[in-house]
Amino acid sequence: MFDEQIETFDKGVILPMKTATRLLSVLALLAVLAGCTTVAPAAPAPAAEQAAAPAANTVVVADVERQPAPAFDSACTAADEGAVVPADFTPDRPLKIAVLGLENNPFWIPVKEGALKAAEELKPYNVTVDWIVPGETHTADDFSGGMEAAIAQEYDAIATIAGDAGLVTYIDRAVDAGIPVATFNSETAAPNNRLFFVGADLYKQGEAAGKAMADAIGGAGKVGVITGFFAVEAHELRRKGFEDYLTANNPDIEIVAQVENSDQGDIAYTQAQDMMTANPDLAGIYVTAGGPFGAAAAVEDAGKTGEVKVISFDFVDETMEYVQKGVISATIGQGPFAQGHDPAIRLFNYIVTGEAPECGRLLTEAALVTQDNIDQYWTPPAQ
């Protein structure tokens, strides 16, 4: 899906070299903002020209006038999410961009793929993108060290996960040192000087889950909620979004239990069993974070597939297998590929054009995957 978009987009954005630098930058900005559908028919230049004439588009990085960052709280959805292409300028010196990510669970597989894809796309422009894993957790404990190291190593731009407020200082320190910073996946509630964020609006994801649940159980019935940790803001936002949506739109749906499973499948299994015991007429189980396959396994083992609908997040293999079997009615994505891919490309574009994204939060698509459309999102791993 992404590859197709990138291809069309490539042809669209590349302009003939006659154009003045200024015009070019405006167009590049337009392209970034408008997305492929608008731009594609405008300039059908062959991709070959790009390789033929990089020198003409050379830009002196130090001379680029950088726009200020958009308002921290401003939010929009980028039409070219996951498919943003590099602006067609070659910097006068090699650039290196750090992407600070995690590898502690399968959620990160597509994120890393995105970062690697960005590295491949930026390579012709003399840019190195390094995927760096500073530790095991989202928090500043691990990422502060990663940020410090990236600043010390004089990266030209940094994309990082910002799991808690402890990272604000480090982000601002990098920006003060002239290094633009983008955040992805999770960011701090406290404002900081990052240029933009790429990731999900977790509260809206919760609302989407509420709607998916209402649709799955026919707008009425008892549901149980299994959340990761009450202490994790991201999980709470998904829990609240779900609860608020149902309160506002589906008064006939009753939430009969809310428990935390520490992101673990086996605990979710026991809790799902308990929910079905306490409520023989249970209609649905909502899992906000890790281990939804535990709840699904409990439903399946109890012979209640189709009777108790499970709604969950993300596209890890275990979850997708249960979607395919019909135990999990829907699982909601958050554009993990875009989270890994877009920050590096947009940071590059900012460095060579000076144009900032139109808003501070570039919210990723909350794709709803069900038994009907799972083929578009997932292929079973080869045994």
Residues that bind another protein (CB under 8 A): 103-106, 108-109, 112-113, 136, 224, 230, 256-260, 262-266, 269-271, 273-275, 277-278, 290-291, 293-294, 297, 301, 316-318, 381
Residue placing its CB nearer to another protein in the complex, 75 or 133: 133
Tokens 């026991």, located at residue: 270
For the CB of residue 113, give the shortest distance to another protein in the complex, in Å: 7
How far apart are the C-alpha atoms of 184 and 187, rounded to whole Å?
Answer: 7
Q: Two tokens at 135?
A: 């530790």
For the CB of residue 380, give the shortest distance to another protein in the complex, in Å: 11
For the CB of residue 248, give the shortest distance to another protein in the complex, in Å: 20
Helix and strand counts by DSSP (H, E) for the chain: 14, 15
Q: Two tokens at 230?
A: 């009450």
Residue placing its CB nearer to another protein in the complex, 53 or 109: 109
For the CB of residue 294, give the shortest distance to another protein in the complex, in Å: 6
How far apart are the C-alpha atoms of 206 and 185, rounded to whole Å?
Answer: 16
For the CB of residue 197, give the shortest distance to another protein in the complex, in Å: 22
Going along the chain, which residue ranges are E strands? 58-59, 75-76, 90-91, 95-100, 127-132, 157-161, 181-184, 196-199, 221-227, 253-260, 282-287, 309-313, 328-332, 361-363, 368-369
Residue placing its CB nearer to another protein in the complex, 43 or 256: 256
How far apart are the C-alpha atoms of 287 and 293, rounded to whole Å?
Answer: 9
Residue placing its CB nearer to another protein in the complex, 35 or 336: 336
Residue placing its CB nearer to another protein in the complex, 85 or 272: 272
Q: Two tokens at 182?
A: 């983008």
Is 144 strand, coil or helix?
A: helix
Q: Which residues of 47-82 are buried (b: 16+ CB within 10 A; e: fewer)?
A: eeebeeebeebebeeeebeeeebbebeeeeebebbb
For the CB of residue 298, give the shortest distance to another protein in the complex, in Å: 9
For the CB of residue 174, give the shortest distance to another protein in the complex, in Å: 25
Residue placing its CB nearer to another protein in the complex, 108 or 196: 108
For the CB of residue 330, give the shortest distance to another protein in the complex, in Å: 20
Residue placing its CB nearer to another protein in the complex, 196 or 315: 315
Residue placing its CB nearer to another protein in the complex, 17 or 259: 259
Q: Which residues of 256-286 are buried (b: 16+ CB within 10 A; e: fewer)?
A: bbbbbbebebebbbebbbebbeebeebbbbb
Residues in the chain: 383
Sheet holding 328-332: strands in order across? 253-260, 221-227, 282-287, 309-313, 328-332, 368-369
